[in-house]
Every structure is written in C-alpha cells, then in structure tokens.
Amino acid sequence: MKSDENTLRIPGAGESHPRFWWNQNNPEMLPYVYRAMEPDQLKLIGEWFDDTASRNLTGETSIPAISIITALISSASISRIVQLGHFAGYSTLMVGYCFVNSRSPGRLVSIDIDPEVTDYTRKWVERAGLSSRITLLCGDSSDRSLAEQSTSDLDGAPELIFLDSSHAYEHTLSELDLWYPLLRPGGMILLHDVSEFASQYDATHQGGVNRAIGEWSQRTDADVISINRSVTEAQSHDDVIYPDGCGLGIIQKPFPSA
C-alpha cells in the first residue's frame, strides 16, 4: 500500500526551509516521487531531513532531478547505476527505494571523497535496509581504480551515471573523460549544476560544470542537452519551466554504427 498524504507527513510539506522551495511555490504540490513510496520509506526520509537539518547537512539534489532519475529506473529497467558524489545520502536512499518499489534487480555504486559523509550515508543505507543494493566507496570520483572497482561491483558497464560531486571545472572534465568510455552504449550521464548560476559552486572559480560540459560537448560524439544552462542567479524558480536553477545536463552515449 502506497502512502496516504492525509495521514503521513510528506517531506517538505508545509515547511519553510529553502530546501523545500517546491512546497513554497505551490503548497498543493505533492511530488509523484513521494507518492510512489511506502509509508515506512517516507517516514525514514522525513527523519533523514530532520537529522540532516540539525547537522547542517543540507545541499541534496533537487526534486526535478531525482524525479527524472527514478522515472528512468522504473520505466526503462535501468539497473546498473553509478553516483559520483552522494554527500549525506538523499539521492542514494531515493534510488535504492526506487529499485525496491519498481521490483528492479538494480544496484548502485556511489563514490564520495568525504569519509564523514560517507559513514553518515552508510548508516542511513543500513537503516533503510538497502545495503544489498548499494555499495558506498570513499575516494576521488576521477580515480580510475575506483571506476574499475565500480564496474566490477555492478557486474557490467554502468547504464546511468549521476554526476554531482565537486562541481569544479577541471575535476568535472576528468570525470567525464574517465567515465564516459565506461558507459554502456545508449547509457546516460546526468550532471547536476550545469547552469551559469551553479558555477559559483566551483571552489576553483574556473567556470564549474557549466564550462566543463560546454567544452567537453565540443569534442565528443555524444548527444548532449543542458537544461537551464543559461540560467543566472537573478532568475528564480518561477522563471523557468524546469524548476531547478542549478540545471541538469543529459549526455547519451550513441550506439556503435552498424
């Protein structure tokens, strides 16, 4: 039985924190990604939001992005996923639950360079009963040895890679150069923070994911779409059709020519 929003607390509903901007824009909105979850799963995600707020571990991926990822899992039978940058574990938990709810045999390998947030995420993965579905690795997501380990753990080429790690220009280029060749033909890489606005998250001040995906797309045979790439800090969620000012990049690896 799926959740009943009349009796369960939906994460973000009625709350004023900026991380729940979708509720503030439209108080009647209930993201379908939450409608598809079981009551115990929703309860755990709500507790995760409470705990991360108390620890100042905010910065999870957006509802639009996680909605696209879970839709791909549940509708396209995507079962081998790599995540580059899990931070405190929101998208990691949501992907794991999506595997369970869609009856997918899927597995996720997630890499983050921060040992503290990796340990934190691991505790929540264990609490959610998702340890058999999710492998967490601590290290640099541009490290070839970790890429090889990920492919081995998944028992095949990744079908979907979600890139949401350092946000730095040079590091993002290194990740794309490393992971794209490992991607299954027809597979996709989704990149968060491709907008001009999100370039501010590049600690090296070199243009961030926005610059990286623009330059990388000029030297590849991949199909590349950047949603909200030109969105600036001056534009709010109300100004864009895809309501995430940080944007989303979609890269698809073509099939080999016959």
pLDDT tens profile 66-121: 999 999 999 988 999 999 999 999 999 999 999 999 999 999 999 999 999 999 99
137 part of a folded domain: yes
- For residue 234, the model assigns a pLDDT of 60
| Total domain count, the chain | 1
Distance CA 76, CA 33 (A): 16
- For residue 19, the model assigns a pLDDT of 85
116 part of a folded domain: yes
pLDDT band (50, 70, 90) for residue 257: confident
User: Is the dihedral angle over the CA atoms 32, 37, 42, 45 positive or is it negative?
Assistant: negative
How does the average pLDDT of the chain come out, rounded? 92
168 part of a folded domain: yes
Distance CA 94, CA 221 (A): 31
- For residue 236, the model assigns a pLDDT of 59
Q: Give the mean model confidence (pLDDT) for residues 205-211.
A: 98
Characterize 137-175 residue by residue with b for buried, 16 or more Cβ atoms within 10 angstroms of its Cβ, and e for exposed.
Answer: bbebbbbeebbebbbeebeeebbbbbbbbbbbbebbbbb
| Percent of the chain's residues with pLDDT above 70 | 94
What's this model's pTM, rounded to 2 decimal places? 0.94
In this structure, of 12-26, 185-199, 221-235, the range with the lowest mean pLDDT score is: 12-26
User: In degrees rounded to 5, what are phi and psi of residue 178?
Assistant: -80, -50
258 part of a folded domain: no
pLDDT tens profile 20-68: 877 777 777 788 899 889 999 999 999 999 999 999 999 999 999 999 9
- Enclosing domain of residue 134: 32-252
CATH number at residue 215: 3.40.50.150
For residue 200, give the nearest of 160, 238, 251, 245 by alpha carbon: 245
Identify residue 190 by its one-letter amino acid code.
L
pLDDT band (50, 70, 90) for residue 156: very high
- For residue 76, the model assigns a pLDDT of 86
β-sheet with 80-84: strand ranges across: 134-138, 107-112, 80-84, 160-163, 188-192, 248-252, 223-227
203 part of a folded domain: yes
Instruction: Say how many residues make up the chain.
Output: 258
227 part of a folded domain: yes
- For residue 1, the model assigns a pLDDT of 42
Q: Which residues contact 89 (CB under 8 A, 6 or more apart)?
A: 48, 117, 120, 121, 124, 125
200 part of a folded domain: yes
